[in-house]
């Protein structure tokens, strides 16, 4: 009888927690280039949770893109031209992740060139819960381990927040993931705060997404890395003049070389294997 009461109480508390829209804010520290481990980037990430599911995205990118979109639309309407400053893009994490409850159907959302893709994640995360416990900030947490997408991950979750979710694609533990890091410490997510929100932003994901599987997405990424300026070429062939403010000569070859150099330095991605 006591066990039944406890289970009912846990379910009741879980319902209360998810009944309100919650924002879990994480600090994300990552090393983009494995050859330069002293270059550690930091970005603020939001995990917005509602009764239907969650959205994980860069708060920095979301805010900057919202303002940039308005400005670029004004430029195009007024002059027929788009003036792009090379350093105008704020934030490094351009992808987002969604999870649909109660089955935790996971999708990656990312724009490559001119198209927005929705990539269904079908690889299970097989957790091994460890007896080790500690306290992180005000939360009592327990350790779990898993191998996923070419990395070994350590997670610290708390049953004090009975939401089986966490940063990026990670989920499925008996409580919210408070801290997550791979064994090289190249990617570390740490929960910084929690607050109620009126609603989860609907404009995080495009309404015109192309649904692809993991293998298709892997090929799209490889094709993009071979020709990163293809999007600019398509826009120009359509009659839109693209003017790079920091490149007055508008040299497409030089732009391609710069982008390829940037891609080469981004070799320490969160997924070392995008298929298995």
pLDDT in tens, 208-242: 899 999 999 999 999 988 887 765 555 444 444 44
Tokens 């003036």 locate to 83
Is 271 a domain residue?
A: no
Is 219 a domain residue?
A: yes
Which 8-state DSSP code applies to residue 245? Answer: T
What pLDDT, on a 0 to 100 scale, did the predictor assign at position 240? 43
Which 8-state DSSP code applies to residue 92? Answer: S
d(Cα 78, Cα 231) in Å, to the nearest integer? Answer: 22
Region 118-134: what's the mean pLDDT? 97
In degrees and rounded to multiples of 5, residue 144 shows phi and psi of -145, 155
d(Cα 184, Cα 177) in Å, to the nearest integer? Answer: 19
Tokens of 231: 């999007």
Write out the residue range of the structural domain in which residue 88 sits.
20-265
Is 9 a domain residue?
A: no
Tokens of 222: 């490889």
Is 10 a domain residue?
A: no
Q: What angle do CA 171, 118, 172 make, to 5 degrees?
A: 10
What pLDDT, on a 0 to 100 scale, did the predictor assign at position 14? 45
What pLDDT, on a 0 to 100 scale, did the predictor assign at position 117? 96
Highest mean pLDDT among 10-24, 50-64, 139-153 belongs to 139-153
| Cα dihedral: 168, 171, 173, 176 (round 10) | 60
Provide, rounded to the nearest whole percent, the portion of the chain with pLDDT above 90: 60
Confidence band, pLDDT 50/70/90 cuts, at residue 80: low
Q: Taking all residues of the chain, what is their mean pLDDT, rounded to a whole number? A: 82
Confidence band, pLDDT 50/70/90 cuts, at residue 15: very low
Q: How many domains does the chain have?
A: 1
Instruction: Enter the pTM of the model.
Output: 0.79
Q: Which residues pair with 92 in a beta bridge?
A: none
Closest of 94, 114, 44 to residue 205, by C-alpha: 94
Is 228 a domain residue?
A: yes
Is 31 a domain residue?
A: yes
């Amino acid at each position: 009888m006591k066990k039944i009461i406890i289970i009912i109480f846990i379910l009741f508390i879980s319902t209360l927690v998810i009944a309100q829209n919650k924002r879990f804010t994480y600090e994300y520290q990552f090393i983009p280039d494995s050859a330069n481990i002293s270059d550690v980037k930091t970005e603020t990430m939001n995990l917005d949770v509602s009764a239907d599911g969650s959205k994980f995205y860069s708060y920095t990118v979301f805010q900057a893109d919202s303002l940039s979109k308005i400005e670029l639309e004004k430029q195009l309407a007024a002059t027929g031209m788009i003036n792009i400053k090379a350093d105008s893009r704020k934030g490094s994490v351009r992808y987002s992740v969604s999870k649909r409850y109660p089955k935790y159907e996971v999708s990656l959302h990312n724009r490559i060139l001119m198209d927005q893709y929705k990539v269904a994640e079908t690889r299970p995360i097989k957790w091994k819960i460890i007896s080790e416990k500690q306290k992180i900030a005000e939360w009592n947490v327990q350790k779990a381990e898993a191998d996923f997408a070419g990395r070994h991950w350590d997670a610290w979750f708390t049953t004090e927040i009975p939401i089986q979710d966490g940063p990026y694609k990670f989920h499925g533990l008996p409580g919210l993931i408070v801290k997550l890091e791979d064994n090289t410490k190249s990617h570390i997510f740490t929960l910084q705060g929690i607050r109620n929100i009126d609603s989860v932003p609907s404009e995080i994901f495009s309404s015109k997404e192309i649904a692809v599987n993991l293998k298709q997405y892997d090929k799209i990424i490889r094709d993009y890395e071979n020709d990163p300026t293809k999007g600019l070429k398509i826009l120009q062939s359509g009659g839109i003049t693209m003017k790079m403010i920091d490149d007055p000569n508008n040299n497409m070859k030089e732009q391609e070389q710069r982008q390829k150099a940037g891609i080469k330095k981004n070799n320490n991605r969160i997924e070392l294997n995008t298929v298995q």
